[in-house]
Homo-oligomer: A and B are copies of this chain.
Amino acid sequence: MSAPEVIPLQPAFYNPQARLCAECRVRRFALFGALDEAALEHIHGQIAEIRLAPGESLYRMQQAGQAAYTVRSGVVRLERTNERGERRILRLAGRSDTVGMEAMLGQSYAADAVACTEVMVCRLPRHLLDELTRDQPALLRDMMKRWQRALDDADEWLTELCTGPARRRVLRLLLKLSEFAEHDEEPVWLPARQEMSAMLDMTVETASRLISQLKREGVLTAHGQRSATLHMDALLQTLRDENLDAGA
């Protein structure tokens, strides 16, 4: 539950980090795609890699943010606690998503960021943006694309997971979870029922009932508590049926 805002960088990491940044570029993970070798050399020293266990928080709402974070692996949830103490999960961030960009603008964080699974992130310090503004204006376009991506994700979250009956919302959540799988046909992270309820605005009981029902229907198979295999053909077919039902 600690917030490792500043992590002492192991000397041994300096070299691997340069390699990681280069890999990011190769894989079009985007932010530094336009950087040349020299600029990359200059920047990679400022970027730290951080590991979080499930439940650990990356930052908290209203903290004066010092960095944004790009997710390298795992799933991070962005959530808010309203005046009545209820949590609401705003959206999830997976590999190559960036969270906490508001820190780059000198603003405090707009939500809590908490690891759902084991997570690796790269820390992008606030002053990086200032340097980029000065030296590499072209990079700012990549930054802006990240903001736009976050906005697209938010809009999609709202239209997919905040609309329609509970069963359809659960099905769409499963579909979204499949996007976070490392490889196709691999087990996906299965959120706790309480997390589901905070994502889909329903009670834990309803989430539990629907997941159990979908297990019986053969849409998913659980392996342990926090992992499941999705049977994508069944899932997609069920989702289609669901959409037709309401249309008829």
- Chain A residues within CB distance 8 Å of chain B: 78, 80, 82-84, 86, 88, 90, 101-102, 104-105, 107, 110-111, 133-134, 137-138, 140-141, 143-145, 147-148, 150-152, 154-155, 157-159, 162-164, 201, 243, 246-247
Which residues of B lie under 8 Å from residue A157 when comparing CB positions?
158
Q: Do B110 and A151 have beta carbons less than 8 Å apart?
A: yes
Residue among A83, A107, A140 with the highest chain B CB neighbour number at 10 A:
A140
What is the count of identical protomers in the complex? 2
Which residues of B lie under 8 Å from residue A151 when comparing CB positions?
102, 110, 147, 150-151, 154
Q: Which of B83, B152, B158, B246 contacts A158 (CB 8 A)?
A: B158
Smallest CB separation, A74 vs chain B (Å):
22
Q: Do B83 and A155 have beta carbons less than 8 Å apart?
A: no
Q: Do B88 and A158 have beta carbons less than 8 Å apart?
A: yes
Further 12 A-B residue pairs, CB within 8 A, beyond A78-B155, A82-B159, A140-B144: A83-B243, A84-B247, A90-B158, A102-B152, A105-B145, A105-B148, A137-B140, A147-B148, A154-B158, A162-B201, A163-B201, A164-B201
Q: Do A162 and B155 have beta carbons less than 8 Å apart?
A: no
